Chain A
Amino acid sequence: MSEPHPTDIAAPVLSISNLSVQLPVQKHRVLDGISLDIAPGETLCLVGESGSGKSVTSLAVMGLLPKKVLAVSGGSIRLEGEELVGAGDARLRALRASRMAMIFQEPMTALNPVFPVGQQIEEVLKTHLDLSARARREKVLAMMEQVHLPNIERVYASYPHQLSGGQRQRIMIAMALILDPKLLIADEPTTALDVTTQKQILKLIKELQQRMGTSVLFITHDMGVVADIADRVCVMNHGQVVETGALDAILRSPREDYTRRLLGAVPSLTPRPPRPDAAREKVLSVSELAKTYASRSLFGQRRETVAADAVSFTLGRGRTLGIVGESGSGKSTVARCVMRLIDPTSGSIRLGAQEVSDLSPAALRPFRKRIQMIFQDPYRSLNPRITVGDSIAEGPRNFGVPAAEAHKRARDLMPLVGLPDDAVERFPHQFSGGQRQRIAIARALAMEPDVLVADEAVSALDVSVQAQVLDLLAGLQARLGIAILFITHDLRVAAQICDDVVVMHKGRIVEHGTAAEVLAHPRADYTRELLLAAPGRHWDFANFRPLAPAPALAADA
């Protein structure tokens, strides 16, 4: 990972100097004079938070900036010495996929849903080479073999929606690398994937890179991934390069303040010290909860999908319970059942002493206010046409609180969640993602609930904002004694906020214990696998030093 690279001898594959990109009309600079070089065979990680300009950089290199929205206004981009700024469309098209290729964040939407994936890889060959149909097909199958896809003949004829996320990203990689380009740009290629899949995809990129000698420009916001794959790191902020350096130098001794803050915000994988657990009143008890989806196929066979089965846990006042798992583990199903947004198939859910799993919607109504939810995407969970104050007051008003009092309550909540008083008069689009999540939290708190269900509530946020929102939740919990059911796929976040952790896999609980136990000394194989797949697990980012591997995991490492 950190062996010396012949950066100063070989000519760089990609050389960006003083590149600026701006909105043509408003003249606002999205990229402001950035410079970076990538040597042959090197992996350069471009890291930064949202809006830092890292994706714009990659699209500028590919010549794929959205026309009429963004335009290169100065500087140079050289690919193996050839100037790309100002190059004609035909020349850029010829270079794409053959000399520089790109893979994207969301492999589902990046593939055309109406064509078999094999055909989509083949299209690269059709566009750039003059081969017979037979030769093309053979080359595609060979490439699919190289990205370790199973049953390549079958996958060749499959449509994107028939493949898993990891398989789709393998197809994207096959498509990008089939012409052996000198430069691969990977824009958050594993962000939408589960950690275990992410680990495999990262390994695959490394493997192919070493075999083909490809240079990789890897864009990510995840410091863990950076620590695992980068040779050098380039930190970006507000359209400028903050600092560039070798991986070790950046992680151990960052020169710039911004880099230090970015690293400092990465939650540690080491669980926080446990809080004393006095015999507390149980506010939520779930036992033997199950949810089965039945679908009837054409000729009447019943197919059952078990989304959750035999799920039991309790949550005490003022405590935080994490439900951790990958996509499809059933964690969101459990959260929705607990909220009674969907009806459980069987099992019991108690709010305090009241059984709510079988209450009718009308009978359930008084209990709704005792359990409130915060959703993942603060951009979509707030009604854009309603002021923040009205959104927050709506809940209490539904429960008979007079309008004036509900609005006063909304106003009083603003300082509590760290927003200015006048925020209640504004609309959601006037706030950043982190601020919107604060609004969502205020909206939930306005109901004065006993339990807060946070479904991936910080997953869409940048690390620095994530840290602030987690602090906010912890502070509110200390003051209000609220219990939090925290659903997350992120073990780092779980380690920092949870008292207890439930690990779910395929609808079942595989491990249940205190966060300190489960995350530091996992007993279940699956938990161990999850921890091993966590990127950057050997690094203590906030303290700029490597970690000694945890004893329980050392044997597997």
Chain B
Amino acid sequence: MLAYFSRRVLAAIPVMGVVALFVFLLLRLPPGDPAAIIAGDTATPAQLEAIRSGLGLDKPIPVQFITWIGQLAQGDLGTSLISKTPVTTLIGQRLGPTLSLALITMVLSIVIAVPLGVLAAWKHGTFVDSIVMAISVLGFSVPVFVIGYVLIQVFAINLRWFPVQGFSNIENGLGPFALRATLPAFTLASIYVALIARMTRASLLDVLGEDYIRTARAKGVTERKVLFRHALRNSAVPILTVIGTGFALLISGVVVTESVFNIPGLGRLIVDAVLARDYPVIQGLILLTSGIYVLINLLVDLSYSLLDPRIRY
């Protein structure tokens, strides 16, 4: 088990290396001179030269890569071209809101979706099942920003239960954070509730047809235990896969929600950096999101083997 874990962790390192190489090349392969883009249309050749040597662009590509990796290893992602702030600082400021929002969204989604899916599978083919599936279709088909604005209209403007927009970091107290995070979290959760509930239902329905479910019933085990103890754990692998991918997508997919609720998170940083062609920031953000993807995939893979003793790669 330990050997398997360490092997999986080690295997993640080359993956990150490939990602880093890809990010590096992504910004150097396109035709055109980054220095020219940075300097703008009115720059003199001397200014261009200065920018090139400042960024190390006058050296051969492999050397540039080694230098860049070396900086990466020291936690240096470069400096923003616009604000002249280190990229790590910029990301650090924005990571908190996005990560905390993503986490509570995921927890919320799981807490709502898994019981809904179990209920639908248990009551398969009944009215309850149809209702759950209808909710799920709704969650899939209504765009996130529509749900966001509807929630704002009802709960912030009409009922005045929550503030319309804004964000408060957890460090400033749990109350203000919860108050401001609730609507964005529900907005984001809508699609994941739909996704996870559907997957839970489908996966559980498969498992409920298995022989060992009949064995459990033949032992006199109660229906609740059959569902939650015998069936759910066996259907966990696909559910977990969806949760894992969902979480990873969430990190990069919060752009719309952060705009709707005016939250100073990574989503906004991404939009701003792309619009301003702030390459070091874009580079840093791609690396960060890829890193999170790799990490989440690793966690999902490791939890497979904890859930199902047959899984050994």
Residues in chain A within 8 A of chain B (CB atoms): 62, 64, 68, 89, 93-98, 101-102, 104, 106, 109-114, 123-124, 127-128, 159, 161, 172, 175, 298-299
List the B side residues contacting A124 at CB < 8 Å.
219-220
Which of the 9-residue segments B62-70, B82-90, B153-161, B303-311 touches chain A? B303-311
User: Which residue of the partner chain B has the closest CB to A104?
Assistant: B211
B212 close to A110 (CB less than 8 A): yes
Q: Nearest chain A CB to B222's CB is how many angstroms away?
A: 7
Cα(A6)–Cα(B198), bound, Å: 57
Interface hits, B209-239 → A, CB 8 Å = 210-212, 214-223, 225, 230, 233-234
Nearest-Cβ distance from residue B236 to partner chain A, whole angstroms: 9
Number of A-B contacts defined by CB within 8 Å: 71
* B3 on interface, CB distance cutoff 8 Å: yes
Q: Mostly helix, strand, loop or mixed at chain B's interface? A: helix
**Among candidates B7, B220, B230, B233, residue contacting A298 with C-beta atoms closer than 8 Å:** B7
- Pull 19 A–B residue pairs with CB atoms less than 8 Å apart, ordered by A: A64-B214, A64-B217, A93-B222, A104-B214, A109-B212, A110-B212, A111-B215, A112-B212, A112-B230, A113-B212, A113-B310, A114-B234, A114-B308, A114-B309, A123-B221, A124-B220, A127-B225, A128-B220, A298-B3
What is the CA–CA distance of A241 and B190 in the complex, to the nearest angstrom?
56
A502 to chain B, nearest CB (A): 34
Contacts of A98 in B (CB 8 A): 220
B210 touches A109 (CB 8 A): yes
Compute how far the CA of A112 lies from the CA of B236 in the bound complex, rounded to whole angstroms: 14
Q: Point out the residues of chain B lying under 8 angstroms from A62, CB to CB.
A: 218
B40 located at the interface, meaning its Cβ lies under 8 Å from any Cβ of chain A in the complex: no
Measured CB to CB, the closest approach of chain B to A420, in angstroms, equals 35
| Distance of B311 from chain A, by nearest CB (Å) | 10
Contact B218 A101, beta carbon cutoff 8 Å: yes
A68 touches B125 (CB 8 A): yes
Q: Are B220 and A175 in contact (CB under 8 A)?
A: no
Within 8 Å by CB of A95, from B7, B212, B220, lies B220
Which residues of chain B are near A112, meaning CB under 8 Å? 212, 215-216, 230, 234
The reply to whether B219 and A96 form a contact with Cβ atoms under 8 Å apart is yes
Partner of B217, one of A94, A96, A114: A96
- Please tell me if B4 contacts chain A, counting CB pairs below 8 Å: yes
Kindly list chain B residues whose C-beta atoms are within 8 Å of the C-beta of A104.
211, 214-215
Given contacts A110-B212, A112-B212, contact A102 B218 (CB under 8 A): yes
Cβ-defined contact, B234 with A113, below 8 A: yes
* Contact call B220/A93, Cβ cutoff below 8 A: yes
With both beta carbons as reference points, the residue of chain A lying nearest to B237 in the complex is identified as: A114
Apart from A113-B308, A114-B233: 5 A-B pairs, beta carbons within 8 A: A109-B212, A112-B215, A123-B219, A123-B221, A128-B220
- Alpha-carbon distance between A261 and B308 when the two chains are bound, in angstroms: 48
Give the nearest-CB partner of A101 in chain B.
B218
Cα A114 to Cα B233 in complex, Å, equals: 8
CB nearest to B218 among chain A residues = A102
Q: Which residues of B contact A102 (CB under 8 A)?
A: 218
Number of B residues with CB within 8 Å of any CB on chain A = 25
Which residues from chain A contact B7 at a C-beta distance below 8 Å? 298
Report which of A89, A95, A113, A298 forms a contact with B309, defined as CB distance below 8 A: A113
> CA of A124 to CA of B215 in the docked complex: distance in angstroms?
11
| Option from B3, B214, B307, B310 in Cβ contact (under 8 Å) with A110 | B214
Q: For A128, what are the chain B residues with a Cβ–Cβ distance below 8 Å?
A: 220
Verify A97–B220 contact, CB threshold 8 A. yes
CA–CA, A392 and B215, complex, Å: 41
Neighbouring B residues of A298 by C-beta, 8 Å: 3-4, 7
Q: Which of B291-310 contact A (CB under 8 A)?
A: 307-310
Q: Which 4 A-B pairs have the closest CB atoms?
A: A96-B220, A109-B211, A112-B212, A93-B220
Q: How far is the CB of B312 from chain A (nearest CB, A)?
A: 9
| Residues of chain B lying within 8 A (CB to CB) of residue A94 | 220
Q: How far is the CA of A101 from the CA of B221 in the complex (A)?
A: 13
What are the residues of chain A within 8 A of B221 when measuring CB–CB?
93, 123, 127
Query: How far is it, in angstroms, between the C-alpha of A299 and the C-alpha of B4 when the chains are bound?
Result: 11
Name which of B211, B215, B310 has the most chain A CB atoms within 10 A of its CB. Answer: B215
Q: What is the CB-to-nearest-CB distance from B4 to chain A, in angstroms, rounded to a whole number?
A: 7
The CA of A127 and the CA of B220, in the complex, are separated in Å by 7
B215 surroundings in chain A (CB, below 8 A): 104, 110-112, 172, 175
Closest chain B residue, CB of each to CB of A125: B219
Is B310 within 8 A of A159, CB to CB?
yes
Distance between Cα atoms of A95 and B125 in the complex (Å): 29
Q: Report B257-307 residues with CB < 8 Å from chain A CB.
A: 307
Query: Known interface pairs A109-B210, A161-B310. Does A97 touch B234 (Cβ–Cβ under 8 Å)?
Result: no
Q: How far is the CB of A112 from chain B (nearest CB, A)?
A: 4
Chain A residues with Cβ below 8 Å from B216 are 112, 123
